[in-house]
């Protein structure tokens, strides 16, 4: 893999049984950027995320994370993952969750407590440390899920629809946090179908029916499509992709 890339994907094909979800994907994602994967529900965004993480096996092609082949423990160790659905335990507190995942990653107890406090401050849950998760709002649960994904200081953060179901104020806070993480050197890959979120990414991968139909910065995609909005740009590239398949 070339220096400077967090992820390199070559000829990736993923399917379930006879259904091919990602027919053939080639993309290289540089370090220290926020890269958005934009597409409608069912376009293959989550499948792509899980393939990069080594959760979903692929039929052809290769994936590397910071030069390490996927699947491998070394690649997984570099990734923090925030799924669409929160995997939290209602009887535990926010601190309990973070201590559990920190210890699971091999962190000593004293260091785990320091890290838990840092992360609860970062996501704005420092005043909710003793509350059981069953009493958390949906937005609070999402903030805790983000904190858990960051426990082991991952250089690569995978975010699958990270702001689904939360209010506009919290969505803005999340994206401010993502920008801060990028400034610290983290690479972020975020799936979304929300256009204003996509506009905050350094680079966009537009996906339709498992195929990469466009790849570039927001300004590049608007210029290439001759449109004024990302929604119109997506429709433009979707039409071009459909023509190619005819």
* 71 and 91, same domain (yes or no): no
What CATH number is associated with residue 31?
A: 3.40.50.300
Q: Cα(first)–Cα(last) distance of the chain, in Å?
A: 34
Where does a domain end: 121, 153, 185?
A: 153
Q: Tens digits of per-residue pLDDT, 189-222?
A: 999 988 889 999 999 999 999 999 999 999 999 9
* 55 and 103, same domain (yes or no): no
CA distance 80 to 18: 31
Q: Tens digits of per-residue pLDDT, 124-174?
A: 999 998 899 999 999 999 999 999 999 999 999 999 999 988 888 888 999
* 98 and 146, same domain (yes or no): yes
- The domain total for the chain is 2
* 122 and 136, same domain (yes or no): yes
* 235 and 122, same domain (yes or no): no
* 147 and 164, same domain (yes or no): no
Cβ contacts of 237 within 8 Å, gap of 6 or more? 206, 208, 213, 214, 221, 225
| Residue 87 DSSP symbol | -
* 146 and 163, same domain (yes or no): no
For residue 153, is it left (φ>0), alpha (ψ between -120 and 50) or beta? left
* 67 and 185, same domain (yes or no): yes
Pick 36 or 105 by higher pLDDT.
36
Pick 87 or 38 by higher pLDDT.
38
Where does a domain end: 134, 153, 172?
A: 153
16-20, 33-37, 42-46, 223-227: range with lowest mean pLDDT: 16-20
Please give the residue range of the domain that contains residue 132. 85-153
Where does a domain end: 128, 153, 178?
A: 153
CA distance 140 to 118: 16
* 167 and 244, same domain (yes or no): yes
* 103 and 144, same domain (yes or no): yes
* 127 and 243, same domain (yes or no): no
Buried b (16+ CB within 10 A) or exposed e, 55-67: ebebeebebbbbe
CA distance 182 to 66: 16
* 15 and 72, same domain (yes or no): yes
- pLDDT recorded at residue 229: 96
């Amino acid at each position: 893999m070339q220096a400077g890339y967090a992820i390199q994907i070559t000829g990736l094909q993923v399917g379930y049984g006879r259904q091919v979800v990602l027919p053939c994907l080639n993309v290289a994602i540089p370090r220290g950027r926020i890269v958005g994967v934009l597409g409608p529900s069912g376009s293959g965004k989550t499948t792509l995320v899980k393939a990069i993480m080594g959760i979903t096996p692929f039929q052809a092609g290769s994936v590397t994370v910071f030069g390490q082949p996927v699947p491998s423990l070394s690649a997984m160790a570099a990734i923090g993952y925030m799924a669409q659905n929160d995997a939290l335990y209602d009887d535990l507190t926010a601190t309990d969750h973070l201590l559990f995942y920190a210890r699971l990653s091999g962190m000593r107890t004293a260091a785990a407590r320091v890290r838990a406090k840092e992360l609860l401050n970062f996501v704005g849950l420092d005043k909710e440390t003793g509350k059981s998760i069953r009493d958390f709002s949906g937005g609070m649960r999402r903030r805790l899920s983000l904190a858990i994904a960051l426990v082991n200081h991952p250089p690569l953060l995978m975010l699958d629809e990270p702001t689904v179901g939360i209010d506009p104020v919290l969505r803005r806070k999340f994206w401010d946090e993502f920008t801060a993480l990028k400034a610290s050197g983290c690479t972020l890959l975020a799936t979304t179908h929300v256009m204003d979120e996509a506009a905050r990414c350094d680079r966009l991968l537009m996906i339709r029916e498992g195929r990469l139909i466009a790849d570039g910065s927001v300004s590049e995609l608007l210029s290439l499509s001759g449109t004024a909005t990302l929604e119109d740009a997506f429709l433009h590239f979707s039409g071009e992709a459909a023509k190619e398949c005819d």
